[in-house]
Amino acid sequence: MPKLLIVSREAEAYRQLIEQANLPSLEMATDPAECDIVLGEPRSIRALLPRLSRLKWIQSIYAGVEYLVEPGHRRDYILTNARGVFGDLMSEYVFGYLLAHEKKIFERFRSQQARYWDRAESGLLRGKTLGLLGVGSIGSHVARTAKHFNMKVWGFTCASEDSQDVDVYFHPPELLKFAGGLDYLVCVLPRTEGTNRIVNADLLDALPPHAVLINVGRGNAVDDSALMQALTQGKLAAAVLDVTDPEPLPAEHPFWTTPNLFLTFHTSAKSYAEDITKIFIENYYLYLAGKPLKYQVDFERGY
Amino acid sequence: MPKLLIVSREAEAYRQLIEQANLPSLEMATDPAECDIVLGEPRSIRALLPRLSRLKWIQSIYAGVEYLVEPGHRRDYILTNARGVFGDLMSEYVFGYLLAHEKKIFERFRSQQARYWDRAESGLLRGKTLGLLGVGSIGSHVARTAKHFNMKVWGFTCASEDSQDVDVYFHPPELLKFAGGLDYLVCVLPRTEGTNRIVNADLLDALPPHAVLINVGRGNAVDDSALMQALTQGKLAAAVLDVTDPEPLPAEHPFWTTPNLFLTFHTSAKSYAEDITKIFIENYYLYLAGKPLKYQVDFERGY
């Protein structure tokens, strides 16, 4: 009889949704020592790892599982993350900020406050080139939205190349060539050893000065000092960061006041319990049947 | 030998594009009295109407042709307007403001300025209902973008019902029923007798208080006092107006400072000379061949 532990700020919502699904044989439990399945937030689950003596499977409600895969923690179980549910949310966020930039939404508001009939021309997404740093399930969705807006899409990737909406793929030796042709750079990379400070001074120098950077992946990908320098020196038009390192950002961090830097607060894509529960249910049936689960994380690769 | 007069602030760009097309028999001219074809901005062309003694055809570079169709002016020629080229531009504008609203782009910026790590949940377009007041070529494109974002689309129309992306059509007696089910109301109506003050107190009362109004049609559609009252009393979450009556808005107009009212300056969709010239060229060949032109305006209907 599989026993499930839910470790989440939204545990009650998950419990109700899972109970409504009447999953065969599943029992809810609260003692970590007797549970073989855990559903929840990676950081909170990590604290329980030593006590999960019967652990077989963890279903993360987030895409990012860095708290569970970093070295030093046990790997004697199957870890699955949440995929396929954040793409449309991330697209809404990314295109919200890209369109705000092109339509000069802040500038128009300042004109309004000055009672100035501001006939300045707006920019267009149409015809511009969006570059994806990371082309997994989220990147592919962002690519699809870019195509809806008649944009060109370039993808920089180490692995997957299966998005129909990416016009040109680039690979690790071509990072600066990739950056040189972009109007927008959207980073959707997970936190791994390999992604540390990939957005560094060289990459920022390679971007055209009218380019905009959006980071919805993880904060480790950005070299903070290099970014502040690029923005201050006008080497980059703007940056939008939903993720920082650390989070929350300390009150004294210079990002709060860096010119043309727009902060959001890891709020670009929420894990909706309805979405995640569907993944859990599908995986639970696979688990019961002894079949491979969906969205398994490779501990070595880190995602 | 057809003679063309170009009457536009961008006359030089149009002249170059048309000359590059090497259109058979076409001559450029500058004397209104000898021209049978006119390309340009309706308001400027109107001033020349009495002098266009050989006039056969006017190609407007705008969608809105109210300056030419209003009563009292001659109608002894074929008037064609620009269609099929503003949909993607309008979609960029409309979704820029809808996403700015849902993603709380202004609020996040204020949080950043206050150094506040603002974890408030963002809203989603996904699942919301967008209502189109007017479902012509622009409305259909906005509907398609809404579908890309997994929204429901309702359309209020007197005439055309051919958009695949409109889930439910409503007709004149059902205006308040239509409004009652919306999260966003996007007005894309032309200026005609029939569209005057269609967005009045009754319609604004029927909209849910969390709704957002966007007007990218013509300013005459909105009852200004009713809109200010609705916004001030919290009967409407926000309004975004790209068009007003009159334009430019006088410095003393209360719209500049109405709470939750966002003004832009008839800047949502520019007529790009490359786009409009394509329409002109296609119509010119039809004109030469004596065939019906595309996008003919019905003077009585007004669009």
| Predicted local distance difference test score (pLDDT) of residue A162 | 86
A19 near B CB under 8 A: no
**Distant-in-sequence, close-in-space partners of A221: CB < 8 Å, separation ≥ 6:** A133, A187, A189, A191, A195, A196, A197, A198, A199, A215
| Predicted local distance difference test score (pLDDT) of residue B198 | 97
Q: Output Rg (C-alpha) for chain B, integer angstroms.
A: 21
| Predicted local distance difference test score (pLDDT) of residue A144 | 98
| Predicted local distance difference test score (pLDDT) of residue A161 | 81
Contact B122 A148 (CB under 8 A): no
Domains of chain A (ranges; CATH) run 3-84+271-288 (3.40.50.720), 87-263 (3.40.50.720)
Q: Mean of the pLDDT values across residues A107-114?
A: 98
The share of chain B scoring above pLDDT 70, in percent, equals: 100
Whether the Cβ atoms of residue B42 and residue B68 lie closer than 8 Å to each other: yes
3-class SS shares of chain B: helix, strand, coil, % to 5: 40, 15, 45
Residue type (1 letter), B131? G
Residues 139-178 of B with CB under 8 A from A: 145, 148-150
Q: Which two tokens stand for residue A286?
A: 């696979």
The pLDDT tens digits for B29-78 are 999 999 999 999 999 999 999 999 999 999 999 999 999 999 999 999 99
Whether the Cβ atoms of residue B35 and residue B10 lie closer than 8 Å to each other: no
Q: Output Rg (C-alpha) for chain A, integer angstroms.
A: 21
Residue of chain B with shortest Cα separation from A244: B117
With bands split at pLDDT 50, 70 and 90, how would you rate the model's confidence at B81?
very high
Residue appearing with tokens 């480790």: A220
Q: How far is A202 from chain B (nearest CA, A)?
A: 28
| Predicted local distance difference test score (pLDDT) of residue B14 | 98
The pLDDT tens digits for A269-295 are 999 999 999 999 999 999 999 999 999
Contacts of A251 in chain B (CB under 8 A): 115
A118 near B CB under 8 A: yes
Q: Which two tokens stand for residue B56?
A: 């056969």
A98-116 burial: b if 16+ Cβ within 10 Å, else e = bbbbbbbbbebbebbeeee
B27-57 burial: b if 16+ Cβ within 10 Å, else e = eebeebeebbbbbbbbeebbebbeebeebeb
Residue appearing with tokens 């390192």: A245
pLDDT at A114 over 80: yes
Residue type (1 letter), B235? K
The pLDDT tens digits for B276-301 are 999 999 999 999 999 999 999 999 99
The pLDDT tens digits for A293-302 are 999 999 999 9
A13 near B CB under 8 A: no
| Predicted local distance difference test score (pLDDT) of residue A111 | 98
| Predicted local distance difference test score (pLDDT) of residue A104 | 98
Contact A92 B150 (CB under 8 A): no
Residue B238's H or E segment, with its range, is strand B238-241
Whether the Cβ atoms of residue B219 and residue B247 lie closer than 8 Å to each other: yes
d(CA B107, CA A263): 11
| Predicted local distance difference test score (pLDDT) of residue B164 | 94
Alpha helices in chain B (DSSP H): 11-20, 42-48, 66-69, 87-102, 105-113, 137-148, 175-180, 201-206, 224-232, 273-288
Interface test with B, best of A112, A216, A275 (most B CBs within 10 A): A112
pLDDT at B160 over 80: no
A264 near B CB under 8 A: yes
Q: What is the pTM of this model?
A: 0.96
**Distant-in-sequence, close-in-space partners of A181: CB < 8 Å, separation ≥ 6:** A129, A131, A154
Contacts of B102 in chain A (CB under 8 A): 92, 96
d(CA A278, CA B110): 36
Residue B155 burial class via C-beta count within 10 angstroms: exposed 0-12, middle 13-18, buried 19 and up = buried
- Please measure the distance between the N-terminal and C-terminal CA atoms of chain A and give it in whole angstroms: 29
With bands split at pLDDT 50, 70 and 90, how would you rate the model's confidence at A78?
very high
The pLDDT tens digits for A145-158 are 999 999 999 999 98
Contact A102 B96 (CB under 8 A): yes
Contacts of A102 in chain B (CB under 8 A): 92, 96
Contact A262 B112 (CB under 8 A): yes
Residue appearing with tokens 């790997």: A75
Contacts of A117 in chain B (CB under 8 A): 247-249, 265
The share of chain A scoring above pLDDT 90, in percent, equals: 98
Q: What is the DSSP string of A210-251?
A: T-EEEE-S-GGGB-HHHHHHHHHTTSSSEEEES--SSSSPPT
The pLDDT tens digits for B208-233 are 999 999 999 999 999 999 999 999 99
d(CA B128, CA A167): 31
Residue of chain B with shortest Cα separation from A249: B117
Q: Which residues pair with A238 in a beta bridge?
A: A212
Whether the Cβ atoms of residue B66 and residue B302 lie closer than 8 Å to each other: yes
d(CA A39, CA A293): 14
d(CA A228, CA A217): 18
With bands split at pLDDT 50, 70 and 90, how would you rate the model's confidence at B177?
very high
Q: How far is B265 from chain A (nearest CA, A)?
A: 6
Residues 202-241 of B with CB under 8 A from A: none
B107-133 burial: b if 16+ Cβ within 10 Å, else e = ebbebbeeeebbeeebebbeebbbbbb
B99 near A CB under 8 A: yes
Q: How many residues are given for chain B?
A: 303
B13 near A CB under 8 A: no
| Predicted local distance difference test score (pLDDT) of residue B159 | 78
The pLDDT tens digits for A8-64 are 999 999 999 999 999 999 999 999 999 999 999 999 999 999 999 999 999 999 999
B108 near A CB under 8 A: yes
Residue of chain A with shortest Cα separation from B89: A124
Residue of chain A with shortest Cα separation from B244: A117
- The overall average pLDDT reported for chain A is 97
Facing residue for A117 by CB, picked from B88, B105, B265:
B265
| Predicted local distance difference test score (pLDDT) of residue B161 | 81
A263 near B CB under 8 A: yes
pLDDT at A160 over 80: no
Residue of chain B with shortest Cα separation from A92: B99
Contacts of A262 in chain B (CB under 8 A): 108-109, 112
Contact B115 A263 (CB under 8 A): no
